[in-house]
Amino acid sequence: SSELTQDPAVSVALGQTVRITCQGDSLRNYYASWYQQKPGQAPILVIYSKNNRPSGIPDRFSGSSSENTASLTITGAQAEDEADYYCNSRDRSGNHHWVFGGGTKLTVL
């Protein structure tokens, strides 16, 4: 099992807001990054350093963090947001090792 825990699946109605969470001890000390992966494609970075968006990522994507939990929020989910989402951070040792959450399958209804 992963050091970062995500719900396997989440659904949201089109246009509504959804929060995807990631829990882990390392998140008390390190920020999470979030990645979107669509079938057959490489992951793309959507949030880094808790709540920063790379160029080209829509502003409906946002991040937050509290204690051992990081969250990715999509405000006004669109059909094209249907994908797998992964969080990542350093592992709990604090060494230069990185881990990913198990991923959350987001379905937009």
Partner 1 sequence: QVQLQESGPGLVKPSQTLTLTCTVSGGSISSRNYYWSWIRQPAGKGLEWIGRIYTTGSTNYNPSLRSRVTISEDTSKNQFSLRLSSVTAADTAVYYCARLTYYYESFDYWGQGILVTVSS
Binding site for partner 1 (CB under 8 A): 2, 30-31, 33, 35, 42-45, 48-49, 52, 54, 86, 88-90, 95-103
Nearer to partner 1, 21 or 88 (CB): 88
* Minimum CB–partner distance for residue 44 and partner 1 (Å): 7
Q: List Cβ neighbours of 93 (8 Å cut-off, separation of 6 or more).
A: none
* Minimum CB–partner distance for residue 42 and partner 1 (Å): 4
Spatial contact of 24 and 1, defined as CB atoms under 8 Å apart: no
* Minimum CB–partner distance for residue 100 and partner 1 (Å): 4
**What single DSSP character describes residue 106?**
E
Whole-number Å distance between alpha carbons of 71 and 20: 6
